[in-house]
Structure 1
Amino acid sequence: MDEPSQRKADECFARAVYATGSPLMLPSNVYWKRFLNVLQPAYTPPTRHALSTNLLDEEFNRVQTKVKQTIDKADCISVISDGWSNIRGQGIINYIVTTPQPVFYKSVDTKDNRHTGQYIADELKVIINDLGQEKVFALVTDNAANMKVAWAHVEETYPHITTIGCAAHTLNLLLKDIMALKTMDTLYKRAKQIVKCVKGKQVASATYLSKQKEKNMSTTLKLPSITRWGGVVIMYDSLLEGKESLQEMAISQTAGMLDDVFWEGVSSSLKILKPIAAAIAMIEGDGAILSDVQCLFAELKEEIQTVLPTSLLLKAEETAVVKSLERRREFCMKPVHAAAYMLDPKYDRGILSGEEINGAYRVITAMSDHLGLDKGKVLGSLAKYRTKQGLWEGDGIWQSCQHISAATWWKGLCGSEALAPLDQATR
């Protein structure tokens, strides 16, 4: 094998190892060696040392170059910050940049620094300045108290940047609020006890799996995560899918819990919890954008208010759910969400209140100032867009937005309009 072919093969092999998290000793395994030899006898795979040194450096540099090029091409970007502890207990802060497609920017080891609001703000300012503060329009973090302090520092330094609470984190807190209600908590504990009783005993677990197999069902009982309340939905779903098998088993420890009231509670609770869990999954996806959040909360409110009267919750608890949803929504939503919704052609603008519309106008005006655009022309273009005049008069242009992203729609079809640059700033 000639040298260029060897280098290309090594590069591809190394990338496959890194991307799959495979062990670096893989190429020294006798069976992998045999497999590669069958494919190409002339090819010698890289050593473990090469995979952990020069090939790793080259792949890192390649990815970093691609990330930089992606960010440089974007006119407007947002920064997403997420703090966590790694398997060694070290404090780590990850930074993701949306262009609007998300790209991983960097990971910072906080060492022995306390995660105070001032420390986080200082770190965020470094990231913002590295990226170019003039093109950063939004900062997304979780809703912790130290983050709120950091928001104030960032907004003071960069008035054009909007700080936003993570919608997925907010919805997880909504689930936590609902699960804290007495009726929901009691049901949750009963359900968890049943799952533990079956999964924790070898004979019971084997019997359950056997009965599921007889019914051509491969589903197993699931326990929820201790950190993500969306796992409750998965547990309840698994219980309903295994309902017949559980009732057939008639385990003495759980028989009293498997009555009709229990199953009715699981089913009615799922009608409340499932829409929230689905919303979390949607908003955590790579394709989620700010305009989706406005629509998401409106749909959640409608769905939950529809199913609450059929739930087993007490009237006071039903009221608490509605209030919690509104409180979480008010915390999460900012005028920039209304502006993004207004500028997303796939959504009609009927759900925005008068206050939200005014807030959207203020955001659009402020962003026009920051981008150095003629505010009069921008607002004039907005008026035509909202009343479907000029370029937006025909049906075809509105039908097209159902087949392409809003960013492509504005850039490809409406790029000549004064309003077009504002869409990129609200993605």
Structure 2
Amino acid sequence: MITGRKKDPLWRNFIEIPASSSSTTGVGGKTLRAQCKHCKTNIVSLIARMRAHLEKCPDYASRNSSASTSSSRIQICENDSSDEDCGADGMQVKVNPTAEKTSQASQVPTLSKSSSRGSMSQYIVKTSEKEKHKIDIQVAKYIYATNTPFRHSEHPEFIKMMQLSRPGYLPPNRKNIDGKLLDEVYDTVKSNMENNLKGKVVCMALDGWSNIRNEPIVCVSVTTTENDGSVYLVDTIDTSSNSHTSNYLLILAIESIKKCRSFGCNVRSFVTDNTANMAKMRRQLTELEDDQIGDVITYGCSAHLINLFAKDIEEAEIKSDVKKIIKYFKYHHFPQAKYKEAGGKALVLPQDVRWNTLADCLESYVNNWHCLVKVCSEHRSVLDLTIKDLCVLSNCTHIWKDLLSSDWLPEEADKLKARFKAAMTPAHFAAYILDPNFNGDGLSEEEDTIGMEFLDSSCPNTMKDVLAYRARSYPFLEYSLEQSSAQRKLLNWLQL
């Protein structure tokens, strides 16, 4: 049996012409030419040439026009295609039943390989320079808008997130975000602002602030007088090297008004807070005669004045007590946890530079009053110990002893004892012995001995009184310990 490479099914449309009968001599008796069965044309017997011939052969096209519609796609079977998949002429025909019929001249089929794959571009996500720049700008805008540190753009997890969203995309580094991207975004925002404010009548506001690094700046903003009342930030000025005098603020106000007029924005009113330097600056601006500024109405901020009025009538004592309670529940772990368990909402602390925060503070306090009372009533004993500004050593010892008396798992009890030993000193035991609220109750014999030895070594002259106190002999009788004079005497001993 003769073996070798299987012939291409395309040969079914051609007749082999031996080299001996051809005008072109062959090498080793191989076939050098082929004759088309349809138009009898002789061509070189190369598959590519034969396929190209069939695409142009008119007789072949007319023969197959009756078997397919005008939009048929004829595909040449590959060498590895089975005979059952091909027609009698070695061609594979796919018919589109919805195609419209056209003229006979346009019914030339299109040939392609049946196993040909699509372009590689459909499997690859390409990011052009224009698209990358667009994404870079959006990344930069996100960082600017959220006050995110620029170095976050180089964080591995951020890069991974961006590449999952856009394979092959590498976000800009912090130098680009801090450089050309920042300049471009700034120029774009500035241009949009100027276009939006062109031909508008606005009210300008000027105020001093401090940034996150506590550097003084002056911000200038304008509000349109239309129904929407849109607000635009016109300028921010670093004033680190200048005092906020009325003359300096007047210069800033004039420059800001002229800046707005340069792009067609008309400033007709000017508002500031009511500090002395701002009030004087407004008077100077009113008296100023400058055609480039025009007539500008100046006035103080009513919201600021109302806030000052609220300070005038506030009860400082009530404010102080409420702040003390809120701070206690916000900054102490145990009462904070119990307050949340009781369903308490967020408590607000008043801030002098944040208007209406005092009202928000009192409102949050009143609305959560029932939760505060519940926590205080259910956990009075624990809160009494943690709420004190001064916690003496005897109280510390009592808290530790109370913890040791609770039920713990064996491994937890061992850890607690280790912490107890690390916290306790001879002074703790001595204070616990002398405190009339505890009298050394609960101390082990060893702990009691340690405390007494400490008193003997540190205060040998008081040992007679200490022994009298422990024996409840004169002057430390039971009833006398309740008197304030005896309490004060013992408190002196507790301050060890």
TMscore range, shorter length: 0.5 to 0.7
Counterpart among 203, 207, 228 of residue 82 in structure 1 = 207
Q: 350, 361, 374: which one pairs with 1:224?
A: 350
Distance 2:211 2:141 in 1: 23
Pair 1:27 & 2:158 matched: no
2:287 corresponds, among 151, 156, 170, to 156
Q: Which amino acid aligns with 1:178?
A: I
**Structure whose alpha-carbon radius of gyration is higher:** 2
Residue 59 (structure 1) shift: 0.4
Higher share of residues assigned strand: 2
Q: CA deviation at 1:228?
A: 3.0
CA contact (8 A) 1:84 1:91 kept: yes
SS at match of 2:235: strand
Residue among 169, 181, 190 paired with 2:321: 190
User: How much does 1:247 deviate?
Assistant: 1.8
Change (3 A) 1:130 1:27: closer
Please point out which of 208, 230, 236 is paired with 2:362. 236
Within 1, Cα distance between the matches of 2:181 and 2:321? 53
In 1, distance between residues paired with 2:283 and 2:240? 24
Give secondary structure in 1 for the equivalent of 2:342.
helix
Distance 1:11 1:95 in 2: 26
Equivalent residue letter for 2:301: C
Aligned positions, number: 245
Q: Is 2:256 aligned against 1:117? A: no
Greater fraction helix: 1
One-letter amino acid of the structure 1 residue matched with residue 299 of structure 2: I
Residue of structure 1 in register with 2:182 after alignment: 56
Task: Say which SS state the counterpart of residue 25 (structure 1) adopts.
Answer: helix
Aligned to 1:281: none
SS at match of 1:57: helix
SS in 2 for 1:73: coil
**C-alpha contact 1:172 1:228 (8 A) present in aligned 2:** no
Residue aligning to 2:266: 135
* Letter paired with 1:185: A
Note if contact 1:138-1:162 (Cα within 8 Å) is conserved in structure 2: yes
Q: How does 1:242-253 map to 2 (within 5 A)?
A: 242-248=368-374, 249-250=376-377, 251=380
1:6 maps to 2:135: no
How far 1:122 moved relative to its partner?
A: 1.9
Q: Does 1:167 align with 2:302?
A: yes
Query: Is the Cα–Cα contact under 8 Å of residues 176 and 229 in structure 1 kept in the other structure?
Result: no
Change in 2 beyond 3 A, CA 1:73/1:229: closer
Pairs within 5 Å for 1:317-396: none
Deviations 1:366-417 (A, max 9, x none): xxxxxxxxxxxxxxxxxxxxxxxxxxxxxxxxxxxxxxxxxxxxxxxxxxxx
TM-score (norm 2): 0.46
SS of the residue corresponding to residue 313 of structure 2 reads: helix
Note the 1:256-275 alignment, pairs <5 A.
Answer: none
Structure 2 alignment gaps of length 5 or more? 1-126, 385-496
Pick one of 119, 122, 142 that aligns with 1:16.
142
On the 8 A contact 2:199/2:266 being kept in 1, the answer is no
Greater mean alpha carbon deviation, residues 27-36 or residues 61-70: 27-36
Which SS does the other structure have where 2:348 is aligned? Answer: coil
- The amino acid across from 2:233 in the alignment is F
- Displacement of 1:44: 1.9
Unaligned runs of 5+ in 1: 256-427
**Partner Cα distance (1:201, 1:45) in 2:** 43
Match of 1:40?
A: 166
Q: Decide which moves more: 18-27 or 162-171.
A: 18-27
Structure 2 letter corresponding to 1:203: F
Give the residue type in structure 2 aligned to 1:98: T
Alpha-carbon spacing, 1:239–1:227, altered in 2? closer, same or farther (3 Å): same
Q: 2 CA distance for matches of 1:115 and 1:9?
A: 42
Moved more, 53-62 or 91-100: 91-100
The alignment partner of 2:346 has SS state of: coil
User: Which protein has greater RCO, CA pairs closer than 8 Å, 6+ apart?
Assistant: 1
**Could you say if the C-alpha distance between residues 24 and 125 of structure 1 is closer, same or farther in structure 2, counting changes exceeding 3 Å?**
same
The answer (yes or no) to whether the contact 1:91–1:110 under 8 Å persists in 2 is yes
DSSP 3-state at the match of 2:243: coil
- Give the conservation status (yes or no) of the 8 Å contact 2:330–2:336: yes
- Matched position secondary structure for 1:98: strand
Structure 2 distance, partners of 1:44, 1:87, is 30
Distance 2:159 2:359 in 1: 45
Q: Extract structure 1 runs of 4+ deviating beyond 6 A.
A: 252-255
What is the TM-score normalised by the length of structure 1?
A: 0.53
| Most deviating of 51-60 and 115-124 | 115-124
- How many percent of aligned residue pairs carry the same amino acid? 28
* More deviation, 131-140/55-64: 131-140
Residues 185, 229 of structure 1: alpha-carbon distance in 2 compared, 3 angstrom cutoff: farther
Q: CA RMSD in A?
A: 2.4
Report whether the alignment pairs 1:96 with 2:221.
yes
**Conservation of the 8 A alpha-carbon contact between 1:96 and 1:105:** yes
